[in-house]
Amino acid sequence: MEYGFFDGDSIGTTLEGLLRNDKIADASNLSSMINIAMQEIKEYLDNIAEYEIIIFGGDDLLIKTKNEKISQTVIDKIRQTFFKRTGCTISGGIGSSIIDAMNKLGKAKDSGRNKVLQ
């Protein structure tokens, strides 16, 4: 069993910057595109019996696989879908426990974002 924790890169900062610069329509559009991306990712994962979604909200996603490892195909699909829909990158951490995945996500963010650490 393995866990994957994913989080959009600098989404809060980006939205805040848009709102502070009175670009309300742009902020609303980005928010909508994040929702579309995450829903597309959810639908993709829902069709793979080996994966369970634990957290799904905003730009956060925590999944678990019943298999030994989360496949590179799934990781790539999550990253590509998020970027294609939002123009923003997403980072992730893959680990043998939720804490391990969270720690690796933190390291991915701290080391420049737009990566998944396993």
pLDDT of residue 19: 98
Enumerate residue ranges in the chain where pLDDT < 70.
none
Rounded-to-integer distance, Cα 81 and Cα 6, Å? 13
pLDDT of residue 99: 98
Which two tokens mark 48?
Answer: 């793979």
Tens digits of per-residue pLDDT, 44-64? 999 999 999 999 999 999 999
pLDDT of residue 67: 86
Closest by CA to 116, choosing from 69, 106, 87, is 106
Domain ranges of the chain: 2-117
Task: Return the CATH number of the domain spanning residue range 2-117.
Answer: 3.30.70.270
Which two tokens mark 63?
Answer: 């999944």
